[in-house]
């Protein structure tokens, strides 16, 4: 610790240097306010200033204190006063002094002075860390709100369809059990190309926090720029998005990537054309029989986005039942688990999703969506889903 002392008693100066210089501490004692102010013209990084409030009078000492505090507003300043002058130190404390010590005639205060200075430095550092943490929390909150503003609040569905969707960011528990909502990396969008075609897409950026949220914002911008362009199939659209994302270091820096499932639903043909870039496969529920299954494919899902340019993605086509529910989701839903016993119970999984949808077959599509979030949350036994979760659920009830 580097300690600077502004003092008014030359007899105590050497004693003070000896007591404060214990261990690795560096101490410099300057007599008088003028010399002290002159010393602060340099850029030397002092950790703390121990200052007599009488240099040589209270008024002059206060003036010196104010000038120093303006020069180094973040540096802790500990004042020293005689026992009969304690009431005078209040003025200093209300203007930014960190702490004070009372000088006794015998000089016994010197024995505890180092502890007072160390405590003042730690107090200021803790406050500064708290302020930085609060600032970061506010910035994360701003990014999270910006990210959530990109997700459609209301989805217009063509005749014969109902579409509901929801995004919930992950949460973490910090000291004291406080729950903090994180900025996330999930994204969904639903839009119509015409009365007969609906686009459904769900994406998930790797990681959590600011970088994941920023990655999703980049993808959202790209999707909005090209979503009305005519592509021969869903793979062509995903390929274009991938090539664009590969050029953005915000996304692929430090190995970042985005998974995506992009689907094009043709209503009159009851047909889903879709492409996956490393994303969970959609589920379809036949509302006549109640059967639920993944839209199986023979090959593995394509590589996530923003890893390699010019990747070849596959277009798959699936014939849908006459009446059905179609589920697009991110892995936060299926990967929910109780944090205190993950190996015993495993994840909520696709089985949990299927079971919930089957139990809610007679419920409205909105109630079924609510049940998916409720049941996966309950499965965690209070620990909460550790990943962002997005779900898009479409019901086709007339053809």
* 255 Ramachandran zone, left/alpha/beta (phi>0; psi -120 to 50): left
pLDDT at 175: 45
The lowest-confidence range among 100-114, 164-178, 300-314, 365-379 is 164-178
Burial of 315 (0-12, 13-18, 19+ CB in 10 A): middle
Cβ-based neighbours of 232, under 8 Å, separated by 6 or more: none
Distance of CA 110 to the CA centre of its chain: 46
d(CA 395, CA 158): 11
d(CA 213, CA 190): 19
d(CA 69, CA 91): 14
- Tell me what percent of the residues of the chain surpass a pLDDT of 70: 91
Is cis: bond before 145, omega within 30 of 0? no
Query: Start-end ranges of CATH 3.60.40.10 in the chain?
Result: 151-396
Cβ-based neighbours of 379, under 8 Å, separated by 6 or more: 336, 337, 338, 345, 348, 352
Query: Tell me, what's the pLDDT at 116?
Result: 92
pLDDT in tens, 218-263: 898 898 888 888 888 999 999 999 999 999 888 888 788 999 999 9
Angle, CA 351 vertex, CA 347 and CA 354 arms, to 5°:
130
Determine the longest span between alpha carbons in the chain, in angstroms.
98
- Report pLDDT for 396: 96
| Residue labelled with tokens 């209040």 | 90
Rg of the chain, C-alpha, whole Å = 32
User: According to the model, what pLDDT value does residue 297 have?
Assistant: 65
What is 2-129's CATH number?
A: 3.40.50.2300
CA dist list (Å): 161 to 184, 247, 282, 324, 329: 29, 37, 17, 10, 18
Q: What is the pLDDT of residue 301?
A: 74
Query: Percentage of the chain surpassing pLDDT 90?
Result: 53
Residue tagged 């990537």 (tokens) = 257
Superfamily the domain 151-396 falls into: PPM-type phosphatase domain (3.60.40.10)
Q: How far apart are alpha carbons 350 and 355 in whole angstroms?
A: 8
The band of 182, judged by pLDDT with boundaries at 50, 70 and 90, is: low
Q: What is the predicted pLDDT for the residue at 183?
A: 58
Q: Is the pLDDT of residue 380 over 70?
A: yes
The three-state secondary structure class of 187 is strand
- CATH 3.40.50.2300 domain residues, the chain: 2-129
Which of 20-29, 138-147, 215-224, 376-385 has the lowest average pLDDT? 138-147
Can you tell me the mean pLDDT for 208-223?
A: 84
């Amino acid at each position: 610790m580097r300690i600077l002392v502004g003092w008014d008693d030359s007899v105590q100066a050497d004693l003070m240097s000896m007591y404060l210089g214990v261990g690795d501490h560096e101490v410099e004692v300057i007599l008088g306010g003028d010399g002290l102010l002159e010393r602060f013209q340099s850029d030397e990084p002092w950790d703390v200033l121990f200052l007599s409030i009488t240099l040589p009078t209270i008024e002059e000492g206060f003036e010196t204190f104010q000038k120093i505090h303006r020069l180094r507003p973040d540096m802790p300043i500990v004042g020293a006063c005689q026992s009969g002058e304690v009431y005078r130190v209040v003025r200093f404390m209300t203007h930014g002094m960190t702490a004070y010590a009372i000088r006794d005639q015998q000089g016994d205060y010197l024995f505890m002075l180092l502890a007072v200075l160390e405590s003042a430095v730690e107090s200021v550092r803790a406050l500064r860390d708290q302020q930085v943490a609060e600032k970061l929390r506010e910035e994360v909150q701003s990014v999270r709100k910006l990210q959530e503003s990109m997700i459609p609040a209301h989805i217009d569905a063509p005749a014969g369809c109902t579409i509901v969707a929801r995004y919930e960011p992950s949460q973490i528990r910090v000291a004291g059990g406080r729950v903090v909502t994180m900025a996330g990396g999930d994204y969904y969008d639903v839009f119509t190309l015409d009365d007969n075609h609906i686009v459904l897409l769900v994406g998930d950026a790797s990681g959590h926090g600011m970088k994941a949220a920023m990655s999703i914002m980049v993808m959202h911008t790209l999707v909005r720029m090209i979503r009305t362009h005519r592509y021969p199939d869903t793979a062509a659209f995903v390929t274009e998005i991938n090539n664009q994302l590969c050029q953005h270091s915000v996304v692929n820096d430090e190995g970042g990537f985005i998974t995506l499932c992009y689907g094009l639903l043709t209503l009159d043909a009851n047909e889903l054309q879709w492409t996956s870039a490393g994303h969970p496969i959609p589920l379809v529920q036949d509302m006549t029989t109640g059967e639920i299954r993944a839209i199986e494919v023979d090959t593995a899902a394509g590589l996530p986005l923003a890893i390699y340019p010019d990747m070849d993605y596959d277009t798959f086509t699936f014939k849908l039942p006459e009446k059905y529910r179609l589920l697009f989701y991110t892995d936060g839903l299926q990967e929910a688990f109780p944090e205190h016993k993950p190996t015993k119970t495993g994840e909520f999984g696709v089985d949990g999703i299927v079971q919930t949808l089957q139990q809610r077959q007679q419920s409205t599509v909105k109630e079924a969506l609510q049940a998916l979030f409720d049941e996966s949350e309950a499965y965690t036994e209070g620990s909460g889903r550790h990943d962002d979760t997005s779900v898009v659920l479409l019901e086709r009830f007339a053809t």
